[in-house]
Amino acid sequence: MISNEQHDRMANAIRFLAMDAVEKANSGHPGLPMGAADIATVLFTKYMKFDPKNPNWPDRDRFVLSAGHGSMLLYALLYLTGYPDMTIEDIKQFRQLGSKTAGHPEFGHATGIETTTGPLGQGIANAVGMAIAERKLEQEFGSDLQDHYTYALCGDGCLMEGISHEAIALAGHLKLNKLVLFWDNNSITIDGAVSLSDSTDQIARFKAVHWNTIEVDGHDQKAISDAIEAAHKSDRPTFIACKTVIGFGAPNKAGTHKVHGSPLGAEEIAATRKALNWESEAFDTPADVLDAWRSAGERSVQARKAWEARLSATDETKKAEFTRRFAGQLPAGFDKAIDDYKKKLAEKPPTIATRKASEDALEVINGFLPETLGGSADLTPSNNTKTSQMTSITPTDFGGRYMHWGIREHGMAAAMNGITLHGGLIPYSGGFMIFSDYCRPSIRLAALMGIRVIHVLTHDSIGVGEDGPTHEPVEHMAALRAIPNLLMFRPADAVETAECWQLALEDGKRPSGLALTRQNLAPARTTYSEENLCAKGAYELIAADDAKVSIFASGSEVEIAVKAAADLKAKGIAARVVSVPCFELFEDQPEDYKTTVIGTAPVKIAAEAAVRQGWDRFIGSDGAFVGMHSFGASGPAKDLFKHFGITSDAIVAAAEAKLS
């Protein structure tokens, strides 16, 4: 252990970088970095296994700053420990447009930022996902290749958010003993004292969900060190409650909400420099302190080299598989496996629900991709997400490939983000589409980060039927399509479902959602096509010369559109049908393709058992829409579609009205 004097100087380097950066930006949260600096100094100088020169080393320890508003703590650590892409100039550009040092940590802006945090509680759940991934991959590849810890730092806000309970309850159940959560217990929130709004006994809470709990003085380096040592010996995840003073060192503002989210001001910073005996100017770290931090950044180089030697000595097949999976690459032959499956579907097109079509596609996918990790929020029989290759993961056996997330949609979605960020696995979940509301913050962050997670969202419309309007998503496709960088698929049959799964898996930079039916659908694609037509987002399913009507539809309404086109043809009205499985991929296409698909028919109609929002892109503001204009109702699905006017007859009537 370093001397108390050296520890204090190293911790103060974090404090002054944080307060100076916030002051220069005239924006930010200096209180947490100042209060948690001692925790971070002990962790990064003695326990964290990381190498700034090889920041993506697969067996590194992960550090998640769940309390993302304290971002300067992380940025200071990255700079001080020697990450090449975090310079003092980056620190000076804190919160400025285009800088790596955004107001909250953003994955991809700089190495060492393991996840995007900001919405409180997300980081806790991300860390749980990372710990799940480590345990799963250790079981699969052995401790020679995967044997590391996940550390996270949270604040009171993280623990108040409901997602935290979903995450910690699951972690305790799974006995994720390589997960260590530090609580910056400073008793302050933006409004003032925590006691204004909360009196939870957090120690009792964590004990109740089977965590190891430890309470320490968050400014005592030995106590912090002893707690981490104890955590490493635990058979459960560990919660270390660190009693700290927010804004530690600031003579007049420490311990108050005034230092939470505002610059200290020049006068208070000067007083803090005097109080902590820090003579250096702003952004200037004394050479001996910086040298000590850089030495800490090199502490794990030998461990990294030893790991590389173990990887090199690993059986070639196993080594190649491990390397491929951490590179995020799918195995050779995946396209052929999907293509062969499509040929089988063309031979005998099935009339099945797309949730069942998804299960059938997953049977092929999971047989070919060992890295898929399936799961469901307690809806496995309804989501059809568990295939024959998958056994359940349990607290004592991580050899399986299927997670029972429990009724924890928000925690599930955030933990999936952590699994993907860890590397080596591709998670997919199962849930009802209506409950995507519970997943939405995590889905949004996945899109913001540009990571591959896949959400199976079944029971996608009023086709849910008897469960009624509480379970019938009408606005959810529009709401999810509104999230930038998210691919939302709504396939019309088994072939489209297979193609959409292929696209979701092959896109390593975007999350995906698959909206799937409960009710059976007639096949839309009855002939084999080598080309993945869904890759274009929208394509002409039924052509018509000199078409007077273009009908655009997705999912279950493609079947209705096809019948309407036939009925119009019988009336002497030429109609074409365009299947629209993915708005976002359609927008990726060249302008000439989009123009051709939208076509020149004078009448354009869209059909979807959802609200109209978004469809004007295809039909214009003067086009007709056959869909939902209200919430749903309880009753058999066929009765509901008729009741709400989502039928082929309604499409025909709309076309005739427009043509008259």
Encoded tokens for 605: 């109609």
Q: Which residues contact 118 (CB under 8 A, 6 or more apart)?
A: 68, 69, 103, 104, 105
Query: What's the burial of 568, exposed, middle or buried (CB within 10 Å: 0-12/13-18/19+)?
Result: buried
What CA–CA distance (Å, rounded) separates 157 from 260?
12
Please say if 559 is a catalytic residue.
no
Closest to 529 (Cα-Cα) out of 540, 513, 544, 520 = 540
What CA–CA distance (Å, rounded) separates 339 from 320?
25
Element (H, E) at 256: none
**DSSP for 468-499?**
-GGG--SSHHHHHHTSTT-EEE--SSHHHHHH
83: helix, strand or coil: coil
Closest to 436 (Cα-Cα) out of 491, 512, 373 = 512
β-bridge partners, 513: 455, 488
CB 308 within 8 A of CB 302: no
Q: What are phi and psi of 284, to 5 degrees?
A: -110, 110
CB 39 within 8 A of CB 218: yes
What CA–CA distance (Å, rounded) separates 372 from 440?
22
What CA–CA distance (Å, rounded) separates 28 from 525?
55
Active-site hit among 409, 472, 499, 608 = 409
The distance of Cα 446 from the centroid of its chain, to the nearest Å, equals 3
Q: What are phi and psi of 24, to 5 degrees?
A: -65, -40
Q: Where are the beta strands (DSSP E) in 81-174?
A: 150-154
What CA–CA distance (Å, rounded) separates 306 from 323?
16
Q: What are phi and psi of 530, to 5 degrees?
A: -65, -35
Q: What are phi and psi of 31, to 5 degrees?
A: -60, -45
What CA–CA distance (Å, rounded) separates 147 from 134?
7
What CA–CA distance (Å, rounded) separates 224 from 9?
17
CB 461 within 8 A of CB 519: no
Q: Which residues contact 43 (CB under 8 A, 6 or more apart)?
A: 63, 151, 182, 224, 228
Encoded tokens for 606: 């869209």
**DSSP for 607-628?**
EESS--TTTHHHH-TTSEEEE-
Residue given tokens 């080393």 in the structure block: 57
CB 212 within 8 A of CB 236: yes
CB 448 within 8 A of CB 119: no
Encoded tokens for 103: 């107001």
Residues acting as catalytic residues: 409
